[in-house]
């Protein structure tokens, strides 16, 4: 009896399918239309928590996220807002926060004395010529009238500082010392930065330590004016280290992870330098900063003195030493910690070596 042609064709198709199945094997991945195996799920990113007051000097982190540098290193960086640098210490000590940004404070030194291991690993904002985002300006009317011409004329004057026994006080002392004045020869008035604008306007203070964006606001409103003796970087020998990047000990001991974070961070820092040193991609960088910080007005970035960020992450150690020496000399800090117990530049050095010289 002859087999119907339809049945023959069906049997032939089954045989062909069986042969194809045996060729691919039971564990083979299904083929795509191009013949390549279908891609699997994207690799899971390692979460890293970064805490700071959300300052413009956090640009390395903000741009690292926006440009995908951290993701390329297998990292998912979560940015958390903290009111001040000392607020970072407890979560960094417990390991809840891996990376933070802030200034070198007495609170940090005291924490190290208590056994909390926090490492300062890179620059996160410095003031230097062309990037004088920290200054000690004086009321414009005092300069215009000639009542204040030199630092010695500040004797007995009221100067605003964000806090006593902190960096602002140390800055004031260092600047005054250039004119032969001591810190006790002026009256320090602690207040918040926005309040300084009001105090300058009603002449409750004669000057003070101002940072951006309050600094440029004081200038644009005619409340204060820059003057050469108030350039903080000059008082500190060419550069003032305002903030550093901190690693928690638990994070720093994960060398590969800590190195990958630093690589992405310095890539972001170099994009920032491209924008504000070379003018390359400036508008895009400003938009990222406006989105990530409280300074939303794009025109403000045309007026502000931006923070300097070292493309290799190098820390200006001399200015930090001057601050520690000041706190010791005043008796504010009596512990045994030194910069050697705080600073660890190995991660920045590794990342800079991998990235090559910044040009």
pLDDT digits 0-9 by tens, 168-190: 999 999 999 999 999 999 999 99
Over the Cα atoms of the chain, what is R_g?
A: 28
Give the 3-state secondary structure of residue 349.
helix
Residue 240 DSSP symbol: E
Asked if the structure places residue 38 within a domain, the reply is no
Weakest mean pLDDT among 28-42, 45-59, 233-247, 325-339: 28-42
Q: How many CB atoms lie within 10 A of CB 85?
A: 23
pLDDT: which is higher, 11 or 67: 67
pLDDT digits (tens, 9 = 90+) for 210-245: 999 999 999 999 999 999 999 999 999 999 999 999
Mean pLDDT of 258-281: 98
One domain for residues 286 and 319? yes
- In degrees and rounded to multiples of 5, residue 348 shows phi and psi of -65, -40
Residue 164, domain member (yes or no):
yes
Contact 321, 339 (CB under 8 A): yes
**173 in any annotated domain:** yes
* Same domain? 247 vs 329: yes
Query: Which residues partner with 259 through β-bridges?
Result: none
Q: Please state, as a whole number, how many other Cβ atoms lie within 10 Å of the Cβ of residue 319.
A: 24
Provide the Cα torsion 319, 325, 326, 330; round to 10°.
170
Average pLDDT over residues 142-151: 97
Whole-model pTM: value is 0.86
Helix (H, G, I), strand (E, B) or coil at 69: helix
Residue 154 falls inside a structural domain: yes
* Residue 122 and residue 142 in one domain: no
Residue 10 maps to a domain:
no
SS3 94: helix
Tracing tokens 């994070």 back to the chain, one arrives at 251
Q: Is 257 exposed, middle or buried (CB count within 10 Å of its CB: 0-12, 13-18, 19+)? A: middle
Domain of residue 180: give its range: 134-230
Assess whether 152 and 56 both reside in one domain. Answer: no
Do residue 325 and residue 342 come from a single domain? yes
Q: What local confidence, expressed as pLDDT, does residue 26 receive?
A: 36
In a domain, 7, yes or no: no
Same domain, 244 and 351: yes
Instruction: State whether the Cα torsion 77-78-79-83 is positive or negative.
Output: negative
- Let me know whether 245 and 347 are in one domain: yes
- Give the span between the Cα atoms of 100 and 75, in whole angstroms: 16
CB 265 within 8 A of CB 61: yes
Q: What long-range pairs does 149-154 form, CB within 8 A, spacing at least 24? A: 150/179, 150/229, 151/175, 151/176, 151/178, 151/179, 151/180, 151/181, 151/229, 152/179, 152/180, 152/181, 154/179, 154/181, 154/186, 154/206, 154/207
Question: Which residue is listed with tokens 């903080």?
Answer: 232
- State CA 38 to chain mean position distance: 40
For residues 245 and 351, state if they share a domain.
yes
Residues 272 and 151 in one domain: no
- Rounded Cα distance between 151 and 180, Å, is 8
Taking alpha carbons only, the member of 247, 242, 245 closest to residue 92 is 247
Instruction: Give the domain-ending residue among 230, 259, 291.
Output: 230
Same domain, 218 and 307: no
Q: What is the CATH number for 147? A: 3.40.190.10
More confident residue, 41 or 197: 197
Residues 141 and 221 reside in one and the same domain: yes
Q: What's the total number of domains in the chain? A: 2
């Amino acid at each position: 009896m002859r087999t119907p042609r339809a049945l023959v064709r069906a049997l032939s198709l089954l045989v062909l399918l069986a042969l194809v199945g045996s060729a691919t094997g039971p564990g083979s991945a299904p083929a795509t239309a191009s013949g390549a195996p279908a891609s699997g799920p994207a690799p899971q990113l390692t979460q890293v928590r970064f805490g700071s007051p959300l300052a413009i000097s956090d640009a390395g982190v903000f741009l690292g996220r926006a440009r995908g540098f951290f993701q390329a290193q297998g990292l998912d960086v979560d940015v958390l807002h903290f009111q001040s640098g000392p607020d970072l210490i407890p979560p960094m000590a417990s390991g809840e926060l891996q990376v933070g940004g802030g200034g070198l404070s007495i609170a940090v030194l005291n924490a190290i004395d208590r056994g909390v291991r926090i490492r300062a690993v890179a620059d996160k904002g410095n003031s230097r010529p062309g990037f004088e985002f920290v200054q000690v300006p004086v009321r414009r009317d005092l300069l215009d009238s000639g009542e204040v011409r030199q630092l010695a004329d500040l004797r007995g004057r009221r100067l605003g500082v964000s806090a006593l026994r902190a960096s602002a006080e140390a800055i004031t002392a260092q600047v005054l010392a250039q004119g032969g004045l001591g810190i006790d020869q002026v009256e320090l008035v602690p207040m918040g930065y926005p309040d300084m604008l009001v105090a300058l306007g009603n002449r409750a203070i004669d000057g003070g330590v101002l940072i951006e964006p309050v600094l440029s606001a004081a200038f644009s409103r005619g409340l204060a004016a820059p003057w050469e003796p108030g350039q903080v970087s000059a008082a500190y020998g060419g550069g003032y280290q305002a903030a550093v990047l901190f690693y928690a000990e638990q994070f720093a001991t994960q060398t590969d992870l800590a190195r990958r974070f630093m690589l992405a961070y310095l890539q972001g820092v170099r994009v920032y330098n491209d924008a504000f040193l070379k003018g390359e991609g400036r508008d895009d960088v400003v938009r990222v900063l406006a989105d990530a910080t409280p300074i939303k007005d794009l025109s403000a970035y045309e007026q502000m003195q931006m923070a300097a960020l070292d493309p290799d992450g190098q820390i200006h150690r001399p200015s930090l030493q001057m601050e520690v020496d000041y706190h010791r000399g005043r008796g504010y800090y009596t512990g045994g910690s030194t910069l050697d117990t705080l600073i660890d530049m190995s991660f920045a050095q590794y990342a800079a070596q991998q990235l090559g010289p910044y040009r």
